[in-house]
Amino acid sequence: MRSIEMSFNSKYGYDWVFSYFDVESGGFPEELRRRLEHMVTGNVIIEEIKRDNPYFNIPESIDRHYLKWKGMSGSRYGLVPNHKYLDFKLKNRFHSYGFQFLPTLSRYRYVCNVDIGTALQCNVDDDFFRRMKTEEKAFGFSYAPVDSAVGVKTLFGTYLEFINQSEESGAVSSNNLQKFIINEGVTPLYTQCNMDSNMGIVDMDILRSEHYKRFFNHMDAAMGLFYERWTDYNLKTLYFSTYVDKDKILYIADSGYNDLLNRISCPINMEEKIAHKCVCDPRNDLAFSRSSCLRLFFNITGMELPKDVEVTDIYGVKYKRARVKGKTYENMFKRLEQKYRELFL
């Protein structure tokens, strides 16, 4: 929070909304609320996710035995360990569909999601909220990760089922970003590319639409959010790449994005680094590496590469296992896992 306030929000004073599920029935600590209010320039708004919220829950039709055996096995995918935690799965389902209907968030059209451990290591002078509105953007992102094919085995096939339905095929944008997610050929293949929802800005009107609801319901019925390791950014990337003009997708440049999975975006050019007062090391930049899909996004949209980024005709990407920083990332899911299992399973 401090880095985002210093880098961006201290100039604009946007509100912070904290949503939480009170699994321990202790309420939101007043001391924490006061500390948060002292840290930020906008308003601090606390929103509890109620226990009867149908979206922060597991589907009634789920096979609980299969979920425990396959979806929550400790080392099934060889990925960061969060995939085995029920908290992680519930969070991703809720961020895919449900959070946009929270009473507090209903007053906002544009929302930027901030995950724990996120930092901006450059001054961000561009008011990306205002750009979203004035340029009529639908989605903005700061990082473009590559997913492991093992964790999303049925994701692409389920997506193809939806877009190939006669009533849905006509809704596909004629100026879409599908090349970001589909390797065209005799048989379409999934690129495994994503636009991360962490530090991602979304037009909530789209997520509240009837069409997005139909898309989510189709994807949700496949249970990949629970049996596999689908994430909310998987679903949002597939949807926005297909049903929104690619001109309505915004990349947030020169932010110095950094997260708990050690994914780092840092300007390569020294003049740009100094101009934005970045404290990151360009040698650690992964934004234009093969473990990121950002270079592919630039190529598809016709954007010019930033200064000093190597020009290449190679746009292939490769999944690279994340180097998680310490135990923080796992512990935030692990700490209350038993309580979540008792409550939902």
Give pLDDT tens digits for 225-244. Answer: 999 999 999 999 999 999 99
Structure tokens at 175: 């100026």
Please say if the pLDDT value at position 29 is more than 80: yes
What is the Cα–Cα distance from 201 to 240, expressed in whole angstroms? Answer: 12
| Span of 71-80, 153-162, 250-259, 290-299 with lowest mean pLDDT | 71-80
The CATH homologous superfamily to which domain 64-344 belongs is Spore Coat Polysaccharide Biosynthesis Protein SpsA; Chain A (3.90.550.10)
- H helices within 102-231, ranges in order? 128-134, 155-163, 166-169, 204-207, 210-221, 224-227
Higher-pLDDT residue of 315 and 308 is 308
Going by the DSSP 8-state scheme, the letter that residue 138 receives in this structure is: S
Going by the DSSP 8-state scheme, the letter that residue 292 receives in this structure is: B
Higher-pLDDT residue of 143 and 167 is 143
What is the Cα–Cα distance from 68 to 48, expressed in whole angstroms? Answer: 27
pLDDT at position 188, please? 85
Sheet containing strand 201-203, edge to edge, reads 110-112, 201-203, 139-141, 249-251
Question: In the structure, what pLDDT confidence band is assigned to residue 14 with cuts at 50, 70 and 90?
Answer: very high
User: How many of the other CB atoms lie within 10 Å of CB of 246?
Assistant: 18
Instruction: Kindly tell me the sign of the dihedral angle through the C-alpha atoms of 265, 150, 157, 216.
Output: negative
What is the Cα–Cα distance from 291 to 299, expressed in whole angstroms? Answer: 16
What is the Cα–Cα distance from 266 to 282, expressed in whole angstroms? Answer: 5
Closest CA to 99 of 212, 223, 177, 246: 212
199 in the Ramachandran plot: left (φ > 0), alpha (ψ -120 to 50) or beta? Answer: left
Question: In the structure, what pLDDT confidence band is assigned to residue 114 with cuts at 50, 70 and 90?
Answer: very high
The model's pLDDT over 258-311, given as tens digits with 9 standing for 90+, comes to 998 888 999 999 999 999 999 999 999 999 988 899 999 999 999 999 999 988
Mean pLDDT score across all residues of the chain: 91
What is the Cα–Cα distance from 305 to 315, expressed in whole angstroms? Answer: 13
pLDDT at position 186, please? 65
257 with 144: CB under 8 angstroms?
no
